[in-house]
């Protein structure tokens, strides 16, 4: 058992993965997220401060949800986000569509190479070898 202190309430809980937050606090955060999401949808021109005050949530938590691409701002929102790679204006996450695509291409190419390195005939060769041993 990997016991950890919850970052929010300090309670010791069985840590599995992700941020060190206990299940109770995670549940609370999820409810808060839904509240914030609704608020942002209903108040497209709300600033970060207004969201924070109206939903009683810390700004850094809101920013965290934005980085996770769970919270998306409207194009006319006063909250401005910029791509961490090229500085283009974005509405959620950390990178603009173009930079994300560039990254996906890099990762995608690596994935495809792995797939072609293990083509189906390998299995046939193995079974043929096994057969000849008999
Ligand atoms: Zn907790
Ligand atoms: Zn970019």
Residue 91 in domain: yes
pLDDT in tens, 81-119: 999 999 999 999 999 999 999 988 887 665 555 555 555
The per-residue pLDDT for 18 is: 87
Ligand at minimal distance from the CA of 5 is 1
Q: Which residue, 82, 87, 84, 28, is CA-closest to 58?
A: 28
Cα(105) to ligand 2 centroid in Å equals 14
- Residues lining ion ligand 2 (Cβ < 5 A) are 83, 85-86, 88, 96, 99
Residue 45 in domain: yes
Residue 118 in domain: no
pLDDT of residue 60 exceeding 50, the answer is: yes
- Mean pLDDT within 13-27: 92
Residue 87 in domain: yes
- The parent domain of residue 69 ranges over 3-95
> Could you give the number of structural domains in the chain?
1
Residue 47 in domain: yes
Ligand at minimal distance from the CA of 89 is 2
Residue spans of alpha helices (H) in 1-134 = 23-42, 48-55, 59-67, 97-117, 121-133
Residue 101 in domain: no
Residue 115 in domain: no
What angle do helix axes 48-55 and 23-42 make, rounded to 10 degrees? 120
Q: Which residue, 88, 94, 53, is CA-closest to 71?
A: 94
């Amino acid at each position: 058992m990997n016991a950890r202190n919850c970052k929010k309430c300090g309670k010791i809980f069985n840590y599995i993965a992700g941020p060190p937050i206990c299940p109770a606090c995670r549940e609370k955060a999820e409810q808060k997220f839904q509240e914030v999401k609704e608020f942002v949808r209903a108040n497209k021109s709300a600033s970060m401060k207004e969201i924070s005050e109206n939903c009683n949530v810390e700004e850094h938590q809101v920013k965290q949800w934005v980085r996770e691409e769970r919270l998306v701002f409207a194009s006319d929102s006063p909250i401005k986000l910029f791509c961490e790679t090229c500085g283009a204006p974005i509405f959620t996450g950390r990178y603009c569509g173009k930079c994300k695509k560039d990254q996906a291409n890099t990762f995608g190419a690596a994935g495809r190479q792995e797939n072609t390195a293990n083509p189906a005939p390998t299995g046939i060769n193995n079974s043929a070898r096994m057969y000849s041993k008999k």
